[in-house]
C-alpha cells in the first residue's frame, strides 16, 4: 500500500529538520477527514511506558557540523558497534523517560530544559489484511517529527492537540521501532508564542499508541440534539474512503433506536434519530448514552450526552432553560507531583475539587486538556469552556500563525465535539486590541461556528477603565465582542489594580447585549502564609488578603445584571517561569485556591460558600 501520511497533519515529507525556527512549515489546512476520533474507545496497542531518550541541545541528531541536514541522523537508530565507525549516540543504552509525561519533572536537570529531545521505542507488530495503522500521539509539546523504521511519517506542530500518523506502509511484521524528535523551543511565530504564564513542559505529555482500523473507517461524526426539536438527534457520520451509497448504522440501545443511512459523494451520511423519551444531559443529570456507529467492518462505541446550548439576549440557555455558570479556571498542572496532568487520578483530583467547590462549570485554560478531562466532565456534569492557546500577543499579522491557530482549533473540535459537557469554544485569552488581532480572531470565531454550529463561541477579553468621582468604571467594548456569542472578561481588582475594596466602588458598563462571564479574577496567596489574627488590613500574599479579594469581588459581581458565570483564577497553584519571587512564588503562580500540594486556602471556602448557598449568581 502506498504510504499516505495524513495530509492535514503533514507539513512536508521532504522537510526533515526538527529545529524548526530555521525551517518554518508550510501553512496547513485541515479538513479533518482522515483523522481519528474517539481513539480512547478503539482497540489500541499502547506504546506508553519507558522510552529511550537523548537530550540533543544542538540538534546534532539532525544537522551536520555545517548545519546541513544529515542522512545518518538519530532517526536511523543505528546500532552502536564499538569496532565500527565512531558514533555519537546509542539509543539502546540511553536513559529512559516515561511516556506519557513531560520531561521537565522527570529529571532534575531537565526542569528548565527547552529544546529537542529524541525518543525511541521498539515494538512488535503483525499486520492484519485490509487495515490501516496509525501512530496516535495524544499530545507532544511543541513540534514533533516522527520516523518509523527510519522512514519519516509525519510532523506536527502544537503542544496540546492529538495527531495520528499513517504508519501502515512503514511497518513490517515482527520487530519495529519508532523515533520521535520533540522540540519544546518557544518560537515567536508559535501558538502560543514566546510569553506565557505557565511552564513550558516539553515532551510526549500524553498517551502514545498504535491504532489499527479497517481501510475504510469512521473518522468523524457529530450527533447532537436538535435545537428546535428536543426529540430528535441529528448530525452526520463520515466514513473515510467510503464511496457513495456505503451504509452506516447508528444504534442507541437504551433508546431502542437504530437508524440506517448511506454516505453521499463526500463520504458523509446524514443522521436523524427520533428519540422521544430522551433524558437530557445537564449538571444535575449528566446522562450519557452508549452509542454504536458502524459502517462495513468498522464499528465504534461512544458515550454521548444530548443537550442544547444557546443564548437569548443576555441569557445562556441549557436545554432551553437559563443557567448560571458557577465555575473555576483550571490549568493542566498535575496535583501533588506537579508537571503536566495526564492520568485518571490527576483528573479525578482536579475535577473532584471543582465539585467540592460547588461548581457546575470549569474553564479549562489555556489550551486543550487531556481527553480524560473532558470525558470526566461529561460524567460528572461539569459544563466546560475549552480553549486554544491563542494567548496574549501572537503574531496577528502573520498568516502562517493564523493557519496554526486554525489547525489547533480544528483539532480540538474534532477530538471533543462528542462531549456534551463542552458548551463554549474559546478562541483567545487577553489579546491586545488591535485591528490585526480583531481580524485574526474574527476569522477564528467564524471557523469555530463553521466547524461546530451547535456550540457557543467566546474569548477572554481585557477591559477599559475610566476613573469616576467615586471609583472606577469598567467598560467592555472590545470590538472582538461583536463576533462572540458570549463575552468573557478577565479582571484583577484587588491584585494588579487597586485594593480589594476597590471592587466596592467599581461599576460595569457592558456594551454588548450578550451574556457575560467573568472568566478570571483573583489574587495570589502562599498557602500557610497568614496575617496576624485580628489584622483588619491583611498584607498581600496572605490567605486572608486573597479571601478578602473574593469577598469584595463576589459582592461586585452580583451587581452586574448580565453576568451569567464566573471562573476565578485559579483552582490550583501552577508552575510558571514568570513567577520568580523567592519564598513566595518560587516559580509558581500562587493564585490557586489550593496549593499544588493540595492545601486548601481560605478563599477556597469563601467561594465554596457562595456557590453552595447560591449567593454568587442567580439561583
Ligand atoms: C491572566 C492570564 C493568566 C495568568 C493570570 C495571572 O490574566 O489569563 O494566564 O496566569 O492572569 O495570574 O496573572
CATH code for the domain in which residue 288 is found: 2.60.40.10
- Is residue 241 assigned to a domain? yes
Mean pLDDT of 336-364: 98
* β-bridge partners, 268: 238
- Is residue 504 assigned to a domain? yes
Mean pLDDT of 382-399: 98
**Relative orientation angle of helices 543-557 and 602-612, to the nearest 10 degrees:** 30
Chain-centroid distance of CA 222 in Å reads 19
- Ligand 1 atom with least separation from CA of 365: 9
Alpha carbons 453 and 439: distance in angstroms, whole number: 20
Residue of the nearest CA to atom 9 in ligand 1? Answer: 197
More confident residue, 24 or 37: 37
- Ligand 1 atom with least separation from CA of 574: 10
Whether 166 and 244 share a structural domain: no
Whether 397 and 480 share a structural domain: yes
pLDDT tens per residue across span 284-308: 999 999 999 999 999 999 999 999 9
Whether residue 390 has its Cβ less than 6 Å from ligand 1? no
Q: How confident is the model at residue 23 (pLDDT cuts 50, 70, 90)?
A: very low
Alpha carbons 56 and 69: distance in angstroms, whole number: 15
- Is residue 315 assigned to a domain? no
Whether 299 and 369 share a structural domain: no
- What is the pLDDT at residue 419? 98
- Is residue 14 assigned to a domain? no
- Residue located via cell numbers 541528531: 61
- What is the pLDDT at residue 28? 39
Residue of the nearest CA to atom 7 in ligand 1? Answer: 490
Q: How confident is the model at residue 34 (pLDDT cuts 50, 70, 90)?
A: low
- Is residue 312 assigned to a domain? no
Whether 134 and 256 share a structural domain: no
pLDDT tens per residue across span 156-165: 999 999 999 9
Residue of the nearest CA to atom 3 in ligand 1? Answer: 197
pLDDT for residue 387 is more than 90: yes
Whether residue 591 has its Cβ less than 6 Å from ligand 1? yes
Alpha carbons 12 and 5: distance in angstroms, whole number: 10
Q: How confident is the model at residue 390 (pLDDT cuts 50, 70, 90)?
A: very high
- Ligand 1 atom with least separation from CA of 520: 7
- Ligand 1 atom with least separation from CA of 589: 12
* Inter-residue contact 138 to 206 (CB < 8 Å): yes
What is the DSSP track for 428-479?
EES----HHHHHHHHHHHHHHHHH-TTSEEEEEE--EEEE-SSSEEEEE--G
| Number of domain units in the chain | 3
Mean pLDDT of 594-617: 97
- What is the pLDDT at residue 8? 33
pLDDT for residue 604 is more than 50: yes
Domain-terminating residue out of 164, 179, 214: 214
Percentage of residues in the chain having pLDDT higher than 90: 94
Ligand 1 pocket mutation, candidates 520, 521, 522, criterion most atoms within 8 A of CB:
520
- Is residue 314 assigned to a domain? no
Q: What strands lie across the sheet with 247-252, from one edge to the other?
A: 257-262, 247-252, 289-295, 298-304
Whether residue 520 has its Cβ less than 6 Å from ligand 1? yes
Q: How many angstroms does the Cα of residue 522 sit away from the middle of ligand 1?
A: 9
- Is residue 598 assigned to a domain? yes
Q: How many angstroms does the Cα of residue 428 sit away from the middle of ligand 1?
A: 13
* β-bridge partners, 574: 589
Whether 280 and 347 share a structural domain: no
pLDDT tens per residue across span 213-251: 999 999 999 999 999 999 999 999 999 999 999 999 999
CATH of the domain at 206: 2.60.120.260
Q: Which residues of 71-92 are buried (b: 16+ CB within 10 A; e: fewer)?
A: eebbbbbbeeeeeeeeeebbbe
* Inter-residue contact 11 to 18 (CB < 8 Å): no
Q: Greatest CA separation found in the chain?
A: 84
Whether 245 and 180 share a structural domain: no
- What is the pLDDT at residue 26? 35
pLDDT for residue 4 is more than 90: no
Q: Is 34 exposed, middle or buried (0-12, 13-18, 19+ CB in 10 A)?
A: buried
pLDDT for residue 20 is more than 80: no
Alpha carbons 40 and 21: distance in angstroms, whole number: 33
Percentage of residues in the chain having pLDDT higher than 70: 94
Whether 449 and 511 share a structural domain: yes
Host domain of residue 272: 227-307
Mean pLDDT of 180-203: 98
Residue of the nearest CA to atom 4 in ligand 1? Answer: 197
Ligand 1 pocket mutation, candidates 192, 328, 364, 430, criterion most atoms within 8 A of CB:
430
Q: How much is the ipTM here?
A: 0.99
pLDDT tens per residue across span 517-548: 999 999 999 999 999 999 999 999 999 999 99
pLDDT for residue 15 is more than 70: no
pLDDT for residue 33 is more than 70: no
- With H, G, I as helix, E, B as strand and everything else as coil, classify residue 235: strand
- Is residue 385 assigned to a domain? yes
Determine how β-strand 268-274 pairs with β-strand 247-252: unpaired
Q: Is 619 exposed, middle or buried (0-12, 13-18, 19+ CB in 10 A)?
A: exposed
**Relative orientation angle of helices 344-357 and 371-380, to the nearest 10 degrees:** 40
Q: What is the mean pLDDT of the chain?
A: 94
Ligand 1 pocket mutation, candidates 569, 571, 603, criterion most atoms within 8 A of CB:
569
Q: In this structure, what C-alpha cell is assigned to residue 150?
A: 527510519
Whether 382 and 292 share a structural domain: no
Whether 573 and 599 share a structural domain: yes
pLDDT tens per residue across span 89-132: 999 999 999 999 999 999 999 999 999 999 999 999 999 999 99
pLDDT for residue 509 is more than 90: yes
Determine how β-strand 563-566 pairs with β-strand 516-520: parallel
Query: Strand runs (DSSP E) across 45-130, as ranges?
Result: 45-46, 49-55, 96-99, 116-125
Q: In this structure, what C-alpha cell is assigned to residue 435?
A: 485591528
Amino acid at each position: 500500500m502506498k504510504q499516505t501520511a495524513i495530509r492535514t497533519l503533514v507539513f512536508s515529507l521532504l522537510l526533515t529538520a526538527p529545529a524548526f525556527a530555521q525551517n518554518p512549515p508550510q501553512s496547513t489546512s485541515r479538513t479533518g477527514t482522515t483523522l481519528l476520533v474517539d481513539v480512547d474507545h478503539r482497540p489500541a496497542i499502547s506504546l506508553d511506558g519507558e522510552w529511550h531518550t537523548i537530550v540533543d541541545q544542538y540538534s546534532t541528531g539532525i544537522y551536520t557540523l555545517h548545519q546541513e541536514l544529515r542522512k545518518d541522523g538519530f532517526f536511523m537508530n543505528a546500532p552502536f558497534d564499538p569496532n565500527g565507525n565512531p558514533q555519537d549516540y546509542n539509543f539502546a543504552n540511553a536513559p529512559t523517560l516515561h511516556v506519557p509525561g513531560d520531561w521537565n519533572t522527570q529529571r532534575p536537570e531537565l526542569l528548565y530544559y527547552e529544546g529537542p529531545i529524541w525518543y525511541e521505542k521498539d515494538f512488535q507488530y503483525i499486520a492484519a489484511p485490509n487495515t490501516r495503522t496509525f501512530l496516535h500521539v495524544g499530545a507532544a509539546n511543541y513540534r514533533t517529527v516522527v520516523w518509523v523504521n527510519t522512514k519519516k511519517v509525519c510532523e506536527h506542530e502544537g503542544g496540546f492537540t492529538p495527531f495520528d500518523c499513517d504508519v501502515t506502509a512503514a511497518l513490517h511484521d515482527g520487530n519495529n521501532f519508532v523515533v520521535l524528535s520533540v522540540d519544546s523551543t518557544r518560537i515567536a511565530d508559535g501558538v502560543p508564542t514566546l510569553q506565557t504564564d505557565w511552564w513550558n513542559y516539553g515532551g510526549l505529555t500524553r498517551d502514545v499508541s498504535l491504532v489499527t482500523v479497517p481501510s475504510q473507517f469512521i473518522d468523524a461524526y457529530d450527533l447532537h440534539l436538535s435545537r428546535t426539536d428536543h426529540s430528535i438527534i441529528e448530525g452526520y457520520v463520515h466514513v473515510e474512503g467510503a464511496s457513495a451509497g456505503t451504509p452506516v448504522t447508528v444504534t442507541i440501545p437504551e433508546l431502542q433506536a437504530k437508524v440506517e443511512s448511506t454516505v453521499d459523494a463526500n463520504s458523509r451520511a446524514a443522521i436523524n434519530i427520533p428519540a422521544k423519551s430522551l433524558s437530557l444531559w445537564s449538571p444535575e443529570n449528566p446522562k450519557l448514552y452508549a452509542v454504536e456507529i458502524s459502517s462495513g467492518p468498522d464499528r465504534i462505541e461512544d458515550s454521548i450526552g444530548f443537550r442544547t446550548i444557546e443564548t437569548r439576549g443576555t441569557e445562556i440557555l441549557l436545554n432551553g432553560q437559563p443557567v448560571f455558570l458557577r465555575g473555576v479556571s483550571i490549568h493542566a498542572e498535575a496535583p501533588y507531583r506537579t508537571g503536566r496532568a495526564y492520568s485518571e487520578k490527576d483528573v479525578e483530583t482536579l475535577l473532584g475539587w471543582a465539585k467540592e467547590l460547588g461548581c457546575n462549570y470549569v474553564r479549562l485554560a489555556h489550551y486543550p486538556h487531556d481527553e480524560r478531562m473532558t470525558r470526566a466532565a461529561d460524567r460528572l456534569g461539569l459544563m466546560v469552556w475549552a480553549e486554544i492557546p491563542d494567548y496574549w500577543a501572537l503574531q496577528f499579522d502573520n498568516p502562517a500563525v493564523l493557519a496554526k491557530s486554525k489547525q489547533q482549533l480544528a483539532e480540538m473540535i474534532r477530538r471533543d465535539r462528542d462531549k456534551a459537557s463542552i458548551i463554549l469554544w474559546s478562541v483567545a485569552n487577553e489579546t491586545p486590541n488591535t485591528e490585526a488581532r480583531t481580524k485574526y480572531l474574527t476569522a477564528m470565531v467564524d471557523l469555530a461556528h463553521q466547524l461546530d454550529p451547535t456550540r457557543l463561541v467566546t474569548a477572554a477579553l481585557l477591559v477599559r477603565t475610566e476613573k469616576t468621582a467615586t471609583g472606577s468604571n469598567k467598560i467592555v467594548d472590545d470590538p472582538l465582542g461583536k463576533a462572540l456569542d458570549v463575552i468573557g472578561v478577565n479582571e484583577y481588582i484587588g491584585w494588579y489594580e487597586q485594593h480589594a475594596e476597590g471592587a466596592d466602588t467599581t461599576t460595569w458598563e457592558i456594551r454588548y447585549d450578550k451574556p457575560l462571564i467573568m472568566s478570571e479574577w483573583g489574587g495570589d496567596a502562599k498557602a500557610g502564609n497568614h496575617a496576624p489574627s485580628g489584622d483588619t488590613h491583611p498584607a498581600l500574599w496572605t490567605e486572608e488578603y486573597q479571601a478578602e479579594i473574593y469577598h469584595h469581588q463576589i459582592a461586585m459581581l452580583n451587581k452586574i445584571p448580565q453576568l451569567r458565570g464566573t471562573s476565578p483564577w485559579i483552582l490550583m497553584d501552577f508552575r510558571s517561569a514568570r513567577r520568580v519571587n523567592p519564598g513566595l512564588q518560587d516559580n509558581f503562580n500562587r493564585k490557586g485556591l489550593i496549593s499544588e500540594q493540595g492545601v486548601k486556602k481560605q478563599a477556597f471556602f469563601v467561594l465554596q460558600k457562595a456557590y453552595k448557598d447560591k449567593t454568587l449568581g442567580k439561583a
